[in-house]
Chains A and B, each alone.
Chain A
Amino acid sequence: MDNLSGILDNKGTPLEKQKFTWKEMAGKPISKLDDDAFTRVRIILMNGIETDALRLKHGIARITGQLRGPLAEIRRVEQHQATMVNWLISADHSPLETTVAYEQVAIEVTAAVAQTEPDPYQAQTYRYGLLEDFDHLYRYSAMLDRLEGKDANNILQGYTDIVPGRQTSEHHRHPDNDLRESYEKEQAALITKIHAAMITAAEFQTHDYYMNIGPLFADPLARQLYAEIASVEEQHVTQYGSLADPQESFMEKWLVHEAMEVYAYASCAEQETNPRIKAMWERFLDYELGHLTVACEHFKNIERRDPAEILGGPLPKMIEFKSQREFVRQVLAAEVNLRSSGTQYVDKSEEPQNSLDYRAQLNSEGIASNIVSAGYQWAPGGELMKMRKVS
C-alpha cells in the first residue's frame, strides 16, 4: 500500500459485523519471554491509538449533536478493540517492566516517524521529543534494576540502548515553550497529519498509564519518578498535540484519525511475527476500513466534499518496526543540547528564563530521576552482575 486512495475502494468489515466476546477480548496474552519485543511494541502502540480514537470521538460528540449516535456506535467497537489489544500484555509484566516497554515504543516508533516525516519542522519536533523519551528509558531502567533487581534488557531484547539522553531533570519547561507550530492543513501531506495524530495518541497513553500506575508503587522515589516523568509526558502531549492544524474541522480530524488507524494496523499486519497476533491485526485492519467508510459517508453528507481531498496523496512505506539505534545515536550526538524557546529550538545556552525558573522551583526539593540513576551503567543481567565480575 503506498496510498490510501486505492484502499478507499475496500469498504472493510461492516460495522454491524464487528463483533466480540468477552473471552476473546480477555484472550491468551503474549509471552513476555518468548515473543519478540516488537510484538509488544505494536500492542502498546495500537492500544494507545484505540484509546485516542475514543478520546477524539468523545471530544467531537461534545461539540456536535448530529453525530452522537454514529460516534457512539464506532466507539463501542473501538473500546473492544482496545481491550483485546491491551489485554495481550501478560500479568508477569510488572508495572515497571511495562513502563520500560512503553518507553521502547516511544523511542522506536518516534524515531521511525522522524525519518519518514517530510516536513522538516515536524521531523525536528519528533527528534526533540525522542531524546527525552530515550532518557526516560535510562532512568526507568535504573529504577527497575535498583528496585526490583531486574534487567531492563530482558524487555528491550537488545534493540534499544540504555544510556542517558537529554537529562530528565532538564525536561520540565514553562508551558509557553511546549507549544509548537502546526502544519497547515491545505499544504501538509497526509502522512504529516497521520504522524501527528499517531504520536500524540501514543504519548497520551503513556501519560495516562504513568498517572494510573505511579501511585501503585510503595517506594517513595519510584512514586516521585513517575510524578516527574508523567509531567513530561503531559508536556509531550501538549507539544505533539499542537502539531495538528487547529483549523481542521472535526470531520477532517475524524478522517485523519481513521486513516491513521488504517495505516497503523496495516503496518502491524505487514510485520508481525506472531501468527495469532498477525491475524488479529488483519481483522482489525478490516474493522478500521469499515470505520473509515462510515466516516467518509458522514464527511460527504456534512461537508459536501470528496474524502479524497483529505485522504489522497502518496504515503511512504509502512511504519518500520525495527531497532532505530543508529538514527537515535546520531540525533543524540547532534541534538542533545537543544532546548525550546517558544515554538523554536535553540541551544541550551539560550533557553528562556521562564523555563529555567519553572524548573528550578519544581526541582528545589530533590530530583528522583537523578537520585535513582546516580552512576547507573547498564550491564548484562543488571549492575549487580557487573559487580560480581569485579569481585
Chain B
Amino acid sequence: MANSAKLGTNFTGVQMSPKDTKSLLEAVNDIHPDVPGDSKGLMLERTARAEEADRIGSVPVPGSAKGMLKSTFDMALGKSPELLVDKLGERLAFERSGVRMYDAMIAKAKANSMADSDLIGVLQHIRDEEFEHMNMVAEAIETLGADPTAQTPCADIVGVKSLGVMQVLTDPRTNIAQGINALLTLELEDNAAWELLIELAEAGGHPRIAKGFHKAKEQEDDHLIKIKTLLRRDLIAQIK
C-alpha cells in the first residue's frame, strides 16, 4: 500500500497521448453528433420517469400487539410516526455499517508501518462509539414497538449511498489519507443526521428518545473533529 501520491505512468489524460488526441479531435471535428439536442432531453426523461415510478418500499407495520398499541398511542403524539421509524432505521443501518467501515480502516492502518502511533487507537475508539450508537437506536426503535431488524426504505437508501465509501476502505490499494477521506464523508453525514434525528424525535412527541440521543450527537461532534484532524495532519506532513 502506497502512503502518498507518487509520480508515474498514468495514461489517462490527453497529455500522455498528444498524437492520438490530435487524431481523436480530428474525428470529432469531422463527424458530428447525429442526434440533435443536448443533455436536457436526458433530464426531461428522468423527470418523466420519476413521476411514474413506484416507491422504494414501505415502513413495516409493527408486528406485535404491544407494538400496535404503542403505535396507536404514538399516532396521537405525532402525525407520522412511520417517518421517525424510517429515519431511526436509517440511523441504525448507518451505524451498523459504520462499525464495519471502521473495522476496515483499522485493518488498513495496521498494514502501514508509517501510521501515526495513535491512529489505530482513535479509530478503535470511534468504532466502539458507533457500536454504542447502533445499540441506542435499536432500543429507541423497540420503544416505539417497531422492528429493529427490518430494513426500512431510508435504511436501504443509506446503504446504497455508503457503497462507494466501503469500496474505498476495503480496496487494499488505497492509502491512509484516502481511507480517512472516505470516513470524513461518513462523519459529516452522521453529524448532520443525528442533529436532525433529535429534532425529529422532539417534533414527533418523543422527548425521552431525543434526550438520549444528545450524547450520541456530542460524540459525533468529537468524531468529526478527530477525523478532520487526522486527515489534515497526515496530508500536511506529506506536503511539507
B42 A153 Cβ-Cβ under 8 A: no
B114 located at the interface, meaning its Cβ lies under 8 Å from any Cβ of chain A in the complex: no
B35 A373 Cβ-Cβ under 8 A: yes
A329 B27 Cβ-Cβ under 8 A: yes
Cβ contacts under 8 Å, B160 to chain A: 218
B21 A380 Cβ-Cβ under 8 A: yes
Cβ contacts under 8 Å, B14 to chain A: 153, 158, 380-381
B38 located at the interface, meaning its Cβ lies under 8 Å from any Cβ of chain A in the complex: yes
Of residues 1 through 35 on chain B, the ones whose CB sits less than 8 Å from some CB of chain A are 8-14, 16-17, 20-21, 23-25, 27-28, 30-35
Shortest CB-to-CB span from A10 to chain B, Å, is 34
A332 to B45, CA, bound (A): 31
Choose among A154, A159, A161, A219 the residue that contacts B27 (Cβ–Cβ < 8 A).
A161
B27 A157 Cβ-Cβ under 8 A: no
A34 located at the interface, meaning its Cβ lies under 8 Å from any Cβ of chain B in the complex: yes
- Known contacts: A37-B11, A158-B17. The answer to whether A163 contacts B28 by CB under 8 A is yes
Choose among B16, B35, B46 the residue that contacts A375 (Cβ–Cβ < 8 A).
B35
Interface 1/0s, chain B 159-180, versus A by CB < 8 A?
0100000010001010000000
Say which one of A112-120, A252-260, A364-372 lies at the interface with B: A364-372
B63 located at the interface, meaning its Cβ lies under 8 Å from any Cβ of chain A in the complex: no
A7 located at the interface, meaning its Cβ lies under 8 Å from any Cβ of chain B in the complex: no
Sample of 15 more A-B contacts, CB < 8 Å, known A161-B27, A374-B33, A380-B25: A32-B12, A92-B167, A153-B21, A157-B16, A157-B17, A158-B21, A158-B24, A161-B23, A161-B28, A163-B28, A373-B35, A374-B39, A375-B37, A377-B32, A377-B33
Chain B residues within CB distance 8 Å of chain A: 8-14, 16-17, 20-21, 23-25, 27-28, 30-39, 41-42, 45-46, 49, 160, 167, 171, 173
Chain A residues within CB distance 8 Å of chain B: 32-37, 90-92, 146, 153-155, 157-159, 161-164, 167, 218-221, 323, 325, 329, 332, 366, 370-381, 383
Chosen A-B contacts, 15 in total, with CB atoms closer than 8 Å, are A35-B11, A157-B11, A158-B16, A161-B28, A163-B30, A163-B31, A164-B31, A164-B33, A220-B45, A332-B31, A374-B33, A374-B37, A374-B42, A375-B33, A377-B28
